[in-house]
């Protein structure tokens, strides 16, 4: 089943939303890369660096629950608890996300 993922970014001081469709179970990183947006990573998606943290604006209930591994990586790298790691968080329904550098 496909779900809409909206990715909000700023362009010339204005908010803009890109929309793509992804199969359930794909990660938020898959969504960003499919949309052609940069995604920070220092570990090459090895679930170590926590640079890939994204803010979920809508549809938090449609993102996989945070695993103990994700919580541990976030804590170790001291990133905001509310961010979700794009390489670990999987979509289960429609969501909207953003990154501070988009």
Is 49 a residue that touches ligand FES (CB under 6 A)? yes
Binding segment for ligand FES among 6-14, 17-25, 44-52, 57-65 (CB under 6 A)? 44-52
DSSP-assigned letters across all residues of 35-59: TT-----SSSSSS-S-TTEEEEEE-
Tally the C-alpha atoms within 13 A of residue 84's C-alpha that lie toward its C-beta. Answer: 26
Q: Scanning residues 1 to 40, which ones bind ligand FES (CB under 6 A)?
A: none
Q: Which is nearer to ligand FES, 49 or 97 (CB)?
A: 49
Ramachandran bin of 59, using left for φ above 0, alpha for ψ from -120 to 50, beta for the remaining angles: left
Is 87 a residue that touches ligand FES (CB under 6 A)? yes
Q: Scanning residues 55 to 84, which ones bind ligand FES (CB under 6 A)?
A: 73
Question: Where do contacts with ligand FES occur on this chain (CB under 6 A)?
Answer: 41, 43, 45, 47-52, 73, 85, 87
């Amino acid at each position: 089943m496909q779900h809409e993922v909206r990715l909000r970014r700023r362009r010339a001081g204005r908010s803009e939303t890109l929309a793509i469709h992804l199969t359930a179970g794909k990660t938020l990183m898959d969504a960003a890369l499919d949309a052609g947006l940069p995604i920070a990573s220092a570990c090459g998606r090895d679930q170590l660096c926590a640079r890939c943290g994204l803010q979920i604006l809508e549809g938090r209930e449609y993102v996989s629950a945070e695993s103990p591994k994700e919580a541990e990586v976030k804590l170790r790298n001291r990133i905001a608890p509310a961010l979700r790691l794009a390489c670990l968080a999987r979509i289960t329904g429609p969501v909207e996300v953003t990154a501070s550098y988009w």
